């Protein structure tokens, strides 16, 4: 099963693109407030624990580029196609693009900036070995005496 | 751990998620979390007792927002009351726009402000970061590339996630 995660907002172009591919892939969508009602099984929203269960049971995830969702996928080391919400898809700004590009440059996901190229991104993601590098924890800066003047 | 009690201020959604992730890393809990109302507030209140909310500065209609003078007045009033009540010595901000007023008021009342830049900002500064930079003691960015865009008060010390 391929899980689609769009958070609580709208992401109609992604849902429509997945709907067009639904004869080839087994999709399950968390579609938020999207106006499009897809033909594949879907839910609007779910509690975090249920989302986590869905992520675990999926083969790969197609996710929007929000920090919350990407961080959860990073923590679970999940195979992910990242489709950032963009102005051309009705979003108020392109704030997700910078992070999505960086995320995929680091090899933590496969970038898909154009929903018309989603199929190619899914196939690339299936074949790619993703990497999940470790990063320093900001909390240590506050916790460890001598690192900052706050501790 | 923090030498002094601190207040965590953050907007709803991804910002709040980041704030909670930072809290998991910290050895000490904040004296309060100041945020805006969202769907995850009720569950947050069950796990953390001192959660305060401020009204939105902007009114949203789908993807569009506009400045709401009545909301802004209520926002200012509530932020002032909270800053006065909490009297924070240190404020850790995780953005976004709804934290700016509280931070300025807290600074005016003597607090030191630390802003943690949103993870979305890889090479460009956020509007909140630009607005808070003048009053911040430090801006903590989550990508080293962003240091170039900020001044000397910026530091890279890692992720909140």
Q: Give domain status of residue B152, yes or no.
A: yes
Q: Tell me which of B1, B114, B119, B138 to substitute to probe the interface with A (most A C-beta atoms closer than 10 Å).
A: B119
Q: Give domain status of residue B11, yes or no.
A: yes
Tens digit of each residue's pLDDT, chain A (151 residues): 999 999 888 899 999 999 999 999 999 999 998 999 999 999 998 888 899 999 999 999 999 999 889 989 999 999 999 999 999 998 878 889 999 999 999 999 999 999 999 999 999 999 999 999 999 999 999 988 777 777 6
Rounded to whole angstroms, how far apart are CA atoms B132 and A84? 27
Rounded to whole angstroms, how far apart are CA atoms B10 and B115? 10
Q: Give domain status of residue B44, yes or no.
A: yes
Q: Tell me which of B24, B61, B63, B126 to substitute to probe the interface with A (most A C-beta atoms closer than 10 Å).
A: B63
The pLDDT mean for chain A works out to: 93
Q: Is A147 helix (H, G, I), strand (E, B) or coil?
A: coil
Shortest distance, CA A132 to any CA of chain B (angstroms): 13
Rounded to whole angstroms, how far apart are CA atoms A127 and B105? 52
Judging contacts by C-beta atoms under 8 Å, the chain B residues touching residue A142 are: 1-2, 26
Which is nearest to B118 in space by CA: A139, A96, A55?
Answer: A96
Q: Give domain status of residue B138, yes or no.
A: yes
CATH of the domain at B93: 3.40.50.2000
Taking a C-beta distance cutoff of 8 angstroms, is the pair A26, A2 a contact? yes
For chain A, list the domains and their CATH numbers: 2-143 (3.40.50.2000)
Domain encompassing residue B49: 6-156
**Overall residue count recorded for chain B in this entry:** 161
**Which parts of chain B have pLDDT scores under 50?**
none
- Beta strands A42-43 and A27-30: pairing type? parallel
Rounded to whole angstroms, how far apart are CA atoms B128 and B94? 9
Rounded to whole angstroms, how far apart are CA atoms A55 and A118? 19
First to last CA, chain A: 46
B17 contacts chain A (CB < 8 A): yes
B5 contacts chain A (CB < 8 A): no
In the stretch 87-146 of chain B, residues with CB closer than 8 A to chain A read 90, 114, 116, 118-124, 140, 142-143
Provide the pLDDT for residue B63.
64
In tens, the pLDDT along A23-52 reads: 999 999 999 989 999 999 999 988 888 999
Complex ipTM value: 0.89
DSSP string, B34-102: EEE--TTHHHHHHH-S-EEEE--SEEEETTEEEE-HHHHHHHHHHHHHHHHHH--SEEEE---GGGHHH
């Amino acid at each position: 099963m391929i899980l689609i995660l769009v958070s609580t907002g709208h992401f109609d172009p992604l849902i429509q693109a997945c709907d067009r591919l639904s004869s080839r892939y087994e999709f399950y969508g968390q579609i938020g407030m999207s106006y499009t009602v897809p033909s594949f099984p879907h839910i609007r929203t779910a509690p975090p624990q249920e989302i986590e269960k869905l992520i675990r049971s999926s083969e790969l995830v197609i996710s929007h580029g929000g920090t919350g969702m990407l961080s959860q996928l990073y923590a679970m080391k999940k195979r992910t196609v990242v489709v950032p919400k963009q102005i051309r898809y009705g979003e108020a700004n392109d704030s997700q693009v910078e992070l999505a590009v960086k995320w995929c440059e680091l090899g933590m996901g496969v970038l898909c900036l154009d929903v018309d190229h989603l199929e190619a991104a899914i196939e690339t993601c299936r074949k790619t070995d993703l990497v999940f590098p470790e990063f320093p924890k900001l909390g240590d800066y506050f916790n460890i005496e001598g690192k900052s003047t706050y501790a | 751990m923090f030498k002094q009690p601190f207040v965590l201020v953050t907007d709803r959604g991804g910002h709040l998620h980041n704030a909670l992730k930072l809290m998991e890393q910290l050895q000490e809990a904040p004296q309060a979390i100041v945020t805006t109302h969202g769907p995850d507030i009720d569950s947050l209140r069950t796990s953390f007792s001192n959660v305060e909310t401020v009204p939105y500065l902007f009114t949203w209609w789908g993807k569009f927002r506009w400045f709401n003078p009545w909301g802004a007045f209520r926002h200012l009033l509530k932020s002032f009351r909270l800053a006065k009540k909490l009297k924070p010595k240190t404020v850790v901000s995780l953005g976004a726009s709804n934290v700016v007023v509280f931070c300025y008021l807290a600074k005016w009342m003597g607090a030191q402000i630390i802003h943690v830049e949103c993870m979305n900002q890889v090479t460009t500064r956020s509007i909140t970061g630009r607005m808070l930079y003048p009053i911040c003691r430090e801006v903590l960015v989550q990508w080293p590339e962003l240091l170039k865009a900020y001044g000397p008060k910026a530091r890279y010390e890692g992720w909140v996630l």
